[in-house]
Chain A
Amino acid sequence: MEIVMSVAIGLLFMAAVYLMLSKSLIRIIIGTGLLSHGAHLLLLTMGGLGGTAPPVVADGVTVSDYADPLPQALILTAIVISFAVTSFFLVLAYRAYQELGTDNMELLRGTEDYE
């Protein structure tokens, strides 16, 4: 299972890099979304996908049966953060498009006001 997840994470990272290298701002934002999904899945996988019981004390369950609860807590935090950042980025992109009249990164180089 870990192998399958690793391949999926790799594909996500690959797609993210491809999208972030494009000129269009909206593609870049989708790329950052995929990048953080990849990172979150990596976090989950790195905790180990084993464990058959929820990490709650119960009859007949030993510590070795528990699924690791920590990566899930970490991912929850990371998802909230990346959600907030992505929505901020979308608003910023829209505002920048309104003000600057373009979403093409080639035209956003910005070297005219200093040498």
Chain B
Amino acid sequence: MSNLALFPVVIPLIFAAILMLFPKKLHMQRIVAIAGVVATLASALVLFSKVNSDGVQAVTLGSWPAPFGISMVSDMFSVLLVLSSTIVTLFVLFYSIPTIGVKREQSFYYPAVLFLMTGVNGAFTTGDIFNLFVFIEVLLMASYALIVHGGEKPQLRESIKYLLVNIISSALFVSAVAYLYSVTGTLNMADLAVKIPQIEAVGILTVIAVLFLVVFGFKAAIFPLYFWLPGSYFAPPMAILALFGALLTKVGVYAIMRTYTLFFTMNTGFTHELLAIIAILTILAGCVGALAYFDVKKIIIYNIIIAVGVILFGISQMNAAGVEGSIFYLIHDMLIKAALFLLVGILTVIFGTSDLRKMGGLIKSYPFFGWTFLVAAFGLAGIPPLSGFPGKLLIVQGGFEGTHFWGSLVILATSLLVLLSVVRIFIYAFWGEPVKIVTIDRKHYLSMFVPTAILVALTVFLGAGAELFMPFISDAGEVLLNPSLYIDAVLKE
């Protein structure tokens, strides 16, 4: 047993605590924050190689034997997510230095980002359902601070709603945990996976499973619980939005994927059928939004919802292709959403507005930026060989192998709508008559563009080198499809 699984959670926590000591020292803030994320990335890489060579890593806090102590479990799936969330945070940090503004930087912006990272990595790593609640609260607390950070009027207005929605979903979470505890008598995920199949009252467990779907659905923004997302995500600055879009909803998606593969498998005929239907409705609702708006931020925000639907459809199939596709698409989506938000952020800086109809003709002055945007847009829609393709291909294949071929057809059809929604940004902003743009100096532009371009390059690498990553993905899918691997690693420790 090694404590390695804890490092990606503890390192950002320590660095965030250190950063709170000297909020006004700008350069120190930047350097220490980036050092913290780099250290986390390094520890995540070490953990990744350890998981890759030795299999699932489990730590029980205070050396209490599982299921009595709180387990932290790092399997391939969770370590891949920890790795990609850390990479995303690193590039968002680089992007925030030129864009977020000195005033925000000096009022605990970086500590909040690192606390967010603590919560996200913790939620991905934990092996205890109540501990998952605690880590989700940690990341929510940081996200409350970030969403209202700066205190502009729209931010204050929207964060009240964001806070209220999350408080309600937290109360439901506590209630759902209470029901689960009263039925099973345990909260350790591995132990739950052992105990739930032995319980004969499938009906009450199905109710609990659906209640958990509602709870995590609030975080993941599934249909019809996504109503809070477009408004709330619209308010904060672009760097924070990129962080939220790439990480927060994905924690909800992860929680659904984990619980619905590990232990809520007693009545798949109902729960997973429901999940598939909701996933498809989520995709359709997201498409309507993505096509309806002329605001670049809104278009990408609705694309978050579409991606959530695609991922959940893959997991609802419960076969190798579907699950692996979901994992691949989840990782792809974290990277590509962050990249797209950052690209759109540069676009709004250049034009001084986020309204598409006031943009035009940028390809003449910023050709390289334009082509980078097009690559990212194609990647989002899943044009081969970019990174959206392998994940979507597997998910669609999973749907055809399972019973939901109609879902696969919807995903294929909506891919075109996704493509249309982002290419529309390209057409409006880069083609047509040039409009008056804000002159920004070259150095400032490059400091925004370089981290973004590297992130886009990473997604291209993820797509073109999919063959390279597939062994890890199928490793991760293996643990999800065979809960016994997970259970043995935790309980036999």
- In angstroms, Cα B144 to Cα A92, docked, is 10
Q: Which of B103-111, B154-162, B468-476, B478-486 contacts A (4 or more CB under 8 A)?
A: B154-162
Q: Is B167 an interface residue (CB 8 A)?
A: yes
Contacts of A84 in B (CB 8 A): 141
Q: Is A77 an interface residue (CB 8 A)?
A: yes
Inter-subunit contact B182/A46 (CB<8 Å) = yes
Q: Which of A12-42 contact B (CB under 8 A)?
A: 20, 25, 28, 32, 35-36, 38-40, 42
Contacts of A8 in B (CB 8 A): none
Asked whether A96 and B141 contact (CB < 8 A) given A32-B168, A114-B293, A114-B298, the answer is no
Asked whether A95 and B151 contact (CB < 8 A) given A88-B163, A114-B298, the answer is yes
A66 to chain B, nearest CB (A): 13
Inter-subunit contact B164/A20 (CB<8 Å) = yes
Inter-subunit contact B154/A110 (CB<8 Å) = yes
Q: Is B400 an interface residue (CB 8 A)?
A: no
Residue total for A at the interface (Cβ-Cβ under 8 A): 37
**Which one of B144, B148, B170 has the highest number of Cβ atoms from chain A below 10 Å of its Cβ?**
B170
- In angstroms, Cα B176 to Cα A74, docked, is 13
Q: How large is the interface on B (under 10, 10 to 19, 20 to 34, 35 or more residues)?
A: 35 or more
Q: Is A93 an interface residue (CB 8 A)?
A: yes
- In angstroms, Cα B158 to Cα A115, docked, is 16
Inter-subunit contact B293/A46 (CB<8 Å) = no
Contacts of A11 in B (CB 8 A): none
Q: Is B431 an interface residue (CB 8 A)?
A: no
Inter-subunit contact B156/A96 (CB<8 Å) = yes
Inter-subunit contact A115/B293 (CB<8 Å) = yes
Q: Which of A83-115 contact B (CB under 8 A)?
A: 84-85, 88-89, 92-93, 95-96, 99-100, 108, 110, 113-115
Task: Give the contacting residue for A32; candidates B156, B167, B181; CB below 8 A.
Answer: B167
B217 to chain A, nearest CB (A): 18
Contacts of B158 in A (CB 8 A): 110
Report A53-93 CB contacts with B as 1/0, cut-off 8 Å: 00000000000000000110010011001101100110011
Task: Give the contacting residue for A46; candidates B148, B170, B181; CB below 8 A.
Answer: B181
Inter-subunit contact A89/B134 (CB<8 Å) = no
Q: Is B428 an interface residue (CB 8 A)?
A: no
Asked whether A100 and B153 contact (CB < 8 A) given A42-B175, A88-B144, the answer is yes
Q: Is A51 an interface residue (CB 8 A)?
A: no
- In angstroms, Cα B160 to Cα A28, docked, is 10
- In angstroms, Cα B149 to Cα A88, docked, is 13
Q: Is A47 an interface residue (CB 8 A)?
A: yes
Contacts of A50 in B (CB 8 A): none
Inter-subunit contact B164/A39 (CB<8 Å) = no
Contacts of B137 in A (CB 8 A): 81, 85
Contacts of B167 in A (CB 8 A): 32, 35-36, 82, 85, 89
Inter-subunit contact B160/A25 (CB<8 Å) = yes
Contacts of A48 in B (CB 8 A): 182
Inter-subunit contact A39/B171 (CB<8 Å) = yes
Inter-subunit contact A110/B171 (CB<8 Å) = no
Contacts of B171 in A (CB 8 A): 32, 35-36, 38-39
Asked whether A71 and B295 contact (CB < 8 A) given A36-B171, A100-B157, the answer is no
Inter-subunit contact B157/A43 (CB<8 Å) = no
Residue of A nearest to B292 (CB): A115
Contacts of A42 in B (CB 8 A): 174-175, 178
Contacts of B156 in A (CB 8 A): 92, 95-96, 99-100
- In angstroms, Cα B181 to Cα A70, docked, is 10
Contacts of B151 in A (CB 8 A): 95, 99
Asked whether A115 and B141 contact (CB < 8 A) given A40-B174, A46-B178, A89-B163, the answer is no
- In angstroms, Cα B177 to Cα A36, docked, is 13
Contacts of A38 in B (CB 8 A): 171
Inter-subunit contact A96/B157 (CB<8 Å) = yes
Task: Give the contacting residue for B168; candidates A35, A40, A71, A96; CB below 8 A.
Answer: A35
Contacts of B175 in A (CB 8 A): 39, 42-43
- In angstroms, Cα B163 to Cα A36, docked, is 14
Residue of A nearest to B161 (CB): A108
Contacts of A96 in B (CB 8 A): 156-157, 160
Contacts of B385 in A (CB 8 A): none
- In angstroms, Cα B141 to Cα A81, docked, is 9
Inter-subunit contact B181/A78 (CB<8 Å) = no
Inter-subunit contact B181/A47 (CB<8 Å) = yes
Residue of A nearest to B134 (CB): A77
Contacts of B177 in A (CB 8 A): 43, 74
Contacts of A25 in B (CB 8 A): 160
- 21 examples of A-B residue contacts, CB within 8 angstroms: A20-B168, A32-B164, A32-B167, A36-B174, A39-B174, A39-B178, A43-B174, A43-B175, A43-B181, A45-B178, A46-B179, A47-B178, A70-B187, A85-B137, A89-B167, A92-B163, A100-B157, A108-B160, A110-B154, A114-B295, A114-B298
Chain B residues at the A interface, C-beta cutoff of 8 Å: 130, 133-134, 137, 141, 144, 148, 151, 153-154, 156-161, 163-164, 167-168, 170-172, 174-175, 177-179, 181-182, 187, 231, 234, 293-295, 298
Given A47-B178, A93-B160, 14 new contacts (CB under 8 A): A36-B167, A42-B175, A43-B175, A47-B182, A70-B181, A74-B181, A77-B134, A82-B167, A85-B170, A92-B156, A92-B159, A95-B151, A108-B161, A110-B158
